[in-house]
Homo-oligomer: A and B are copies of this chain.
Amino acid sequence: MQKYEEAHKILKDIPLNLQTERVAVNEAFNRVLAEDLYTDFSFPDCQKSAVDGYALVMWDKNEYRIKGESVPGDLKSAKLQTGECIFVMTGGIVPDNADAVVRVEDVVEENGQIRLNRQPEKGVNINLAGEEFPEHALFAEHGRLLNDLAYPALCYSGKKDVKVYKKPKIGVFVTGDEILEPGNDYRKGHVFNTNRYILLSLLKYLPADIEYVGCFDDNEEEIAKVLEKSNE
Contacts and interface: CB of A to CB of B under 8 A. Distances in A.
Interface of A: 1, 24-26, 29-30, 40-41, 44-46, 52, 71-75, 89, 91-93, 148, 151-152, 155-160, 176-178, 180, 182-184, 186-194, 196-198, 200-202, 205, 218
Chain A interface SS verdict (over half): loop
Number of copies: 2
Contacts of A1: 52
A223 to B, nearest CB: 13
9 contacts: A25-B182, A41-B186, A71-B177, A73-B190, A91-B178, A92-B178, A93-B189, A156-B192, A160-B182
Given A73-B178, A75-B188, A178-B92, A183 B160 contact: yes
A39 to B, nearest CB: 11
A126 to B, nearest CB: 14
Given A75-B189, A89-B218, A189-B73, A148 B26 contact: no
Nearest to A41: B186
Contacts of A91: 176, 178, 191
